[in-house]
Amino acid sequence: MRSAAAMVLLAFAAAVHADPYEADPDLAAQDADYAAGKRAVDAKDWTSAVDRFKRAAVRHPENADVQNYIGYSYRNLKNYDAAFTYYKRAIELDPRHRGAHEYIGETYLLVGDVAGAERHLKALREICLLGCEEMKDLEQAIVKYRATR
Amino acid sequence: MRPTSRLALSCICAALAPIALAHDEPAKEYGRLGTVKFENSCAPEVQAKLTRAVAMLHSFWYVAAEKTFTEVISEDPSCGVATWGLASILMSNPLGGRGSTAPQAQKAMAAIELGRVMGTKTERERDYIEAVAAYYDDWANKPERARQLARAEAYQKLAAKYPKDDEAQIFAALYTAATQQQSDQTYAAYLKAAAVLEEQFKKYPDHPGVAHYLIHSYDAPPIAEKGVKAARLYASIAPDAPHALHMPSHIFTRVGAWEDSAATNQRSREVAKAGGEGDEAYHATDYMVYAYLQMGRDADARRTIDEASQIKGININGLAAPYAIGAMNARYAVERSDWQAAMQLPMPPPSTWTPTPANTRFARALGAARTGNVGMAREELAGLAEIQRALEDKKDKYWATEVEVQRLIVAGWIAHAQKNDDDALRLMRGAADLEDRNEKHIVTPGRLAPAREQLGELLLEAGQPKAALAEFEMSRAREPNRMRNYYLSAVAAEGMGDKVAARNYWSKLAQLGAKSDSARPELVRARAALQ
């Protein structure tokens, strides 16, 4: 017992300490289901993506990225009602989530609701005071939509 | 111990041993740490040592606590509750938000398992081990937020089960406070913890954890005044713990008590340096520099920055040291409006902590924009955009937002330099509103240039002194007693023709700079205005 305890002493006497001032990185990215969901997205296997991201969402219920990915996967499955539900949840969790604003805006265009898309473009303009890709992409999508109507 | 337990213990110890990584140990014996009563069933000859380790844990003196807890285990292998202390240390500063790293979690889980194998003589001690185990349960599959909530819940249950165990109440309050989010400006978790701790403070006015956690629980602008009593006591409760000497300055900074902040951080820096704790020393140094600059003690600030180069034993890939190294040099230029010096700031040493160069780039960009060098300002702005992108890629939302605020401020000053004040004000207002939604991180005494103060300064430059003064007043509510704020407020009041208000601000500025060791133009002007 004494020698075992001595090994504990040895192990802990030279320990590594966390930096006490560091911020919290997003650990959802380390989640196995989240990673599998992203691989399914890359493979365009939308059904699997929904399944894996929903599993990740159980462990990360407040993670807007996970909700956004579920919305994106449903959108590609053409289940737009479900897509809206998850995009809205992503925005509820993070009102400044640029990706969710862009994607829900584009989904509104897919169902012919240009006013809905414009609402999210307005939100992006308020968020991206210095401009951002998401705002440009949604702007272009709206322009393209109008040109084809 | 049964043979199987002995075997299990050997296996666990073998698992613990390879995780050894270097960390400097304090060179001196540990002294005054406050009064803690941690009932335990360990051998009588180690009880005092175990209690001392718990006192160290309360002051986040992890290096010393770890050594002491392991000594206890070595001297009394039946003292299973000491493993609870080891696992607690490996969660690191619970208010810092980061928690354990993977190697630390692995090691903590081995310690917990060791505690279970060693056993405890009381159910209460076993419950302590299981309470800390809640944090590490399914560690790899949980975000830090979920771990924090699980830990708080487990300790609240512990406190409820043992209502007469004040240590359980105190630890439960700490871990409740640790669930506070920087975006929650009702400070619900902090105030819940503070309610418990205030009661404990009446019973234990010299308990290091109670005073320490009260400071953390009031570390937010509208409630900081409530923490002054604990702040004034904590350093004298545990004067040999570097963190105890530094922590009061979190409250002193919030209420603008600069002399107190500089003094306690100076002591903290010296104790940390002597103990080889470079990160803690740098952290105290940045707070000290900030305090000196608010008093116009520029020579003291400069000397303090220069002396910091002698600090050894830092983790350049951590947060405290790289933040301080970049921030304090930038502060020295920006607080004094020395835009030429700001433009020439050298980049801090490379660090894997992504925001490291942001404050330097921000200060250089400010210097360039304020002197009309739009080209250089744009280059630095692009550099800040890269940092923000990298942080977003890492999903580090808090620091990405902090850098976005800096970009908006710089873009505002660039627009102003280009005579486009409509855009400038829109961008600067966006910066101020965005910054106000989050509290500052505990790593910093204050942001390099408060966004709302910058908005006021821009309004002043745009010929709108009344609107400017309103912004300075709002900024002061969150960051009180700043020299630049009083100076700009006085100028704004003069611009409005309000001589009474102007005199009031000049007077506050002169008081703040009563012990100034420099010829700050603001102070020269204040003294002239008051004659």
Q: What is the pLDDT of residue A19?
A: 37
- A6 pLDDT band, cuts 50/70/90, is low
A102-149: per-residue pLDDT in tens?
999 999 999 999 999 999 999 999 999 999 999 999 999 999 999 998
Considering CB atoms only, which of B22, B86, B426 is closest to A14?
B22
pLDDT digits 0-9 by tens, B204-262: 999 999 999 999 999 988 899 999 999 999 989 999 888 999 999 999 999 999 999 99
**pLDDT exceeds cutoff 50 at B400:** yes
Q: What is the mean pLDDT of chain A?
A: 85
Give CA separation, B501 vs A55, B58, B299, B350, in Å: 60, 46, 30, 46
Least reliable range by pLDDT among A94-98, B6-10, B128-132, B274-278: B6-10
ipTM of the assembly? Answer: 0.76
Write out pLDDT tens, residues B475-493. 999 999 999 999 999 999 9
pLDDT band at B367 (very low <50, low <70, confident <90, very high): very high
Test A59 with B141 for CB contact under 8 angstroms: yes
The DSSP line for B201-245 is: HHH-TT-HHHHHHHHHHT-SGGGGGGGHHHHHHHHHHSTT-HHHH
State residue A26's pLDDT score: 53
Percentages of chain B per state (helix, strand, coil), in multiples of 5:
70, 0, 30
Asked whether residue B346 carries a pLDDT value surpassing 80, the answer given is yes
Taking CB atoms and an 8 Å cutoff, what residues of chain B touch A59? 141-143, 146
- Judge whether A106 is closer than 8 Å to chain B, CB to CB: no
Whether residue A2 lies within 8 A of chain B, CB to CB, comes out as yes
Residue B18 has pLDDT above 50, yes or no: no
Taken in order A89, A93, A98, A99, the sign of the CA dihedral is negative
Q: Is A62 near chain B, with CB under 8 Å?
A: yes
Mind listing the domains of chain B with CATH numbers?
3-255 (1.25.40), 465-531 (1.25.40.10)
In angstroms, the Cα distances linking B14 to B7, B11, B19, B109 are: 11, 5, 10, 13
Question: Structure pTM?
Answer: 0.84
Is residue B501's pLDDT more than 70? yes
- Residue B16 confidence (pLDDT): 46
Answer yes or no: do A30 and B74 touch at CB < 8 A: no
DSSP B348: P
A133 interfacial to chain B (CB closer than 8 Å): no
pLDDT of residue A3: 54
Give A67→chain B minimum CA distance, Å.
15
Whole-number average pLDDT of chain B = 92
- Which residues does B65 contact at the CB level (< 8 Å), separation at least 6? B53, B54, B56, B57, B85, B89
With an 8 Å Cβ cutoff, is A4 touching chain B?
yes
**Residue A2: band (very low, low, confident or very high) from pLDDT cuts 50, 70, 90:** low
- Backbone phi and psi for residue B454, each to the nearest 5 degrees, phi listed first: -65, -40
SS (H, E, C) B411-452: HHHHHHHCCCHHHHHHHHHHHHHHHHCCCCCCCCCCCCCCHH
Measure the CA–CA gap between B114 and B296, rounded to whole angstroms.
54
Q: Please give the Cα distance from B512 to B505 (Å, whole number).
A: 10
Q: Closest Cα to residue B165, out of B131, B116, B190, B213? A: B131
Phi/psi class of residue B411: alpha, beta or left (left: φ > 0; alpha: ψ in -120 to 50)?
Answer: alpha
As a whole number, mean pLDDT of residues B27-38 equals 75
